Amino acid sequence: MSWLENLERDQTAGNKRLAALLDPDDLPSGREWLRFLDRLQNSAVTDVFIGGSLLIKQNVADIIQSVRDRFDGPITIFPGAPDQVVKGADALLFLSLISGRNPDLLIGRHVEAAMRIRRLGLEVVPTGYMLFGDGPLTTASYMSQTMPIPLNKPEIAAATAVAGEMLGLRVLFTDAGSGASQSVTASIIAGIKENTSCPLIVGGGFNDAASVVAAWNAGADLVVIGNAIELQPNDLTWLPNPNGHSQATTRA
């Protein structure tokens, strides 16, 4: 069963998922990196997303392999650029930035990467990517050269998501961006969920268990945490269990 089919199955069953977003430029090194991976394996995290906006220090393929060696869950590439498309992952989020009007991120980068992706044989997940926020400017907004959807405009969010689904995108991803001061609101998540049927991924601005659980309760199928894990790599016990428990549990 493919990564997308598994996500759709979990969506239908009401099973929630939790992803750790690992930016290869912001990871520990040496033995600390291995200890971190062991903590990740024993945490509530079900998925690992790998990608970043710059990637100036690390090789994505090497990171994927080391995660694969010590983490049992699926690994998905969340690319910031075509050169981050490498073999070894279970799937690739093929992101169309439908919240913005930058043609390079609607189709331009996709053309650059398409043949490379086909040669690698990666599972491609057509994903409608939407940036949200009221400021300050996040890395994602700066690098994408687009304006995010305001957090107080759930009707725009819902219409954008519906348009993405009508275009044939299979997953929707709402993101407040790395280091965001506020996560995407429950009203935005609920509005998108009410008006669309594809799986919904939500990321950005999650700094505590309560906000993650609130996103799940509002309709998110998979919540992504990046910056908060980077800031606390030695303690992942605060991460909430996707099955609804307040504390992380150790997996076999």
Distance CA 108, CA 120 (A): 20
Spatial CB neighbours of 183, under 8 Å, sequence gap ≥ 6: 176, 202, 204, 205, 206, 211, 215
Mean model confidence pLDDT for the chain: 91
Q: What is the DSSP letter of 104?
A: I
Spell out the residues 6+ positions from residue 137 whose beta carbon is closer than 8 angstroms to its own.
none
Ranges of each domain in the chain: 3-231
Is residue 19 within 8 A of residue 46, CB to CB? The reply is yes
CB atoms within 10 A of CB 62: 12
What pLDDT digit, counting tens, does each position of 208-229 carry?
999 999 999 999 999 999 999 9
Q: What angle do CA 61, 67, 70 make, to 5 degrees?
A: 145
Q: What percent of the chain has pLDDT over 90?
A: 78
In contact, 223 and 241? CB cutoff 8 Å: no
pLDDT exceeds cutoff 80 at 155: yes
Buried b (16+ CB within 10 A) or exposed e, 92-125: bbbbbbbbbeeeebeeebbeebeeebeeeebbbb
Q: Tell me: domain 3-231, CATH 3.90.1150.10, correct?
A: no
What is the per-residue pLDDT for 88?
Answer: 95
pTM here? 0.92
- Residue 108 pLDDT > 90, yes or no? yes
Instruction: Determine if the peptide bond prior to 136 is cis (ω within 30°).
Output: yes
CA distance 228 to 134: 20
Please tell me the distance from the alpha carbon of residue 13 to that of residue 64, in angstroms, as a whole number.
29
Tens-place pLDDT, residues 34-76: 999 999 999 999 999 998 765 555 678 889 999 999 999 999 9
Q: Would you state the pLDDT for residue 146? A: 87
**80 vs 56, residue with greater confidence:** 80
